[in-house]
Amino acid sequence: MSSQIMRNIRMHQLKIAAALLCALTAGQVAAQATPAKPAAAAAKPSSGFLPPASASANVIDSIAVVVNDEVITRNEISARVRAVEGAMKSQNAPVPEAADLQRQVIERMIVERAQMQLAKEMGVRVDDTMLDRAIGRIAEQQKLSVQEMRNQMEKSGTTFAAFREEIRSEIMMQRLREHEVDNKIQISDAEVDTYLAAEKAAAADKVEMNLAQIMVRIPENASPEQIAARRARADDVMRQLRTGGDFAKIAATYSDSSDALKGGEIGWRAADRLPPLFSDALGKLKPGQVTPVLKSTTGFHILKMVDKRNLADASAPAAVQQTRARHILLKVSPTMTAADAKRKLTELKERLDNKAAKFEELARLFSNDGSASKGGDLGWLYPGDTVPEFETVMATLKPGELSDVIETPYGFHLIEVMERKSDDQNKERVRMAARQVIRDRKLEEATEDWARQVRDRAYVEFRDENK
């Protein structure tokens, strides 16, 4: 594997795999429901019904929501509610009342359906080759072959075909967000300069905060009456919190944010990664306290300071150790089991220990990685450029020393450290890190705003159960 691929392990491939694993967890039960065929037009609601087996049979599904020219059926909603409820219970998360949970799930399904429609309109496609690779990565993350994962899935009642389409949809929506949001984020040199100056000034008293939020969304182009109604809802939420209500349960019940069903959990954030509106209000809080109702362009927010911690002063570039290494990677596949890979690498190690072969020659012949053509050379690596399993072993080796066979999420490796050097992180590397922080902050805000716009522009019609 090339050094660039190694650097992107967590930032790209695992990010995709993590998102797809979430889809597997949340989508398996949902996939069991009979998928509704899209309505040819909103004027034909009857297409959302399954034809009865006989004239006396009862209707077994019906339309719950129309989203533009497609429908969401009650069976789909029931299946998704069961999946979400099961996931929340397995994580010991507080589950809201049934009606509130269903409302949250329906809203999430509307947003997903509207985004998927937009992806199709824009010509976003995921071919079978790309889909097969993504599913292969999911199996690797679970340390299974694709066939083993398929067998487990079908034992639980989920068809592999339905699972494939769930993953295809996830990839399409991710590519749509990349096109509509990610690729439009721009960061100027002036923004980087401002950020670095603020970092230096705040380094002496820098903290990181573990946050949760409740957000009451304001629709796009909302009228004063709509804004007043949303404010009243936020104030009601605040009253419940002040009288001892559980924040996580209230978030799961009332919040319009995408993290609602996780109890509003945002996670650890440094103040510089938050809008000033939030960081200013949070700076006055102790762990366990909540902010007053805060109004932004997207809605009304209540933030909870779950915890906070001090960070070491990292404003000055530090001397870091770089390692130049090479490896031979054997991946587990239908034609090579884990036992076969370990056995083969053990044989190669014996040949290297006995000086019967050269490392670069064996890498070119046997390594299943892009670095094979370079004799397995990964170039100069900084800490964090490789997965932890690889880096931990590499750090214990002396220059010229060969590792035992090790396993990482990518397969089995032999590692050789070629040389090491200490290098002061140059200014460009520090600026790159600053640019990434600014990008993350902008991306989070832009994604939330974009999702709101897609939802508000969609035609949504809720159908009565008796229709």
For the stretch 340-349, pLDDT in tens is 999 999 999 9
Burial letters for 372-384: b for 16+ Cβ neighbours within 10 Å, e otherwise? bebbbbbbbbeee
Burial letters for 298-310: b for 16+ Cβ neighbours within 10 Å, e otherwise? bbbbbbbbbebee
SS3 category, 300: strand
User: What is the predicted pLDDT for the residue at 55?
Assistant: 39
Shortest CA distance to 166 belongs to which of 35, 71, 74? 35
Count of CB atoms situated within 10 Å of the CB of 184: 12
% the chain with pLDDT above 70:
83
User: What is the predicted pLDDT for the residue at 117?
Assistant: 92
Count of CB atoms situated within 10 Å of the CB of 275: 14
Q: What order of strands is seen across the sheet that includes strand 406-408?
A: 377-381, 319-330, 411-424, 406-408
Beta bridge partners of residue 451, listed in sequence order: none
Count of CB atoms situated within 10 Å of the CB of 385: 20
Please provide the size of the chain in residues. Answer: 467
CA distance linking residue 354 with residue 405, whole number of Å? 16
> What type of residue is 3?
S
User: What is the predicted pLDDT for the residue at 90?
Assistant: 81
- Give the residues of the chain that fall short of pLDDT 50: 1-57, 313-316
End-to-end CA distance of the chain: 58
Phi, psi of 259 (to 5 degrees): -95, 15
Which of the 8 DSSP states describes residue 274? S
User: What is the predicted pLDDT for the residue at 109?
Assistant: 92
> What type of residue is 140?
E
CA distance linking residue 154 with residue 76, whole number of Å? 19
DSSP strands (E only) in 389-466: 406-408, 411-424, 460-462
Burial letters for 248-272: b for 16+ Cβ neighbours within 10 Å, e otherwise? bbbbbbbbbbebbbbbbbbeebbbb
CA distance linking residue 290 with residue 309, whole number of Å? 17
User: What is the predicted pLDDT for the residue at 283?
Assistant: 83
User: What is the predicted pLDDT for the residue at 34?
Assistant: 36
Q: Quote the pTM value.
A: 0.45
User: What is the predicted pLDDT for the residue at 11?
Assistant: 38
Phi, psi of 270 (to 5 degrees): -80, 155
Q: Which helix H or strand E contains 71, and what residues bound it? A: strand 70-73
User: Residue 9's Cα: distance from chain center in Å?
Assistant: 14
Strands 319-330 and 377-381: antiparallel
User: What is the predicted pLDDT for the residue at 179?
Assistant: 87
User: What is the predicted pLDDT for the residue at 52?
Assistant: 40
For the stretch 35-44, pLDDT in tens is 333 333 333 3
SS3 category, 281: helix
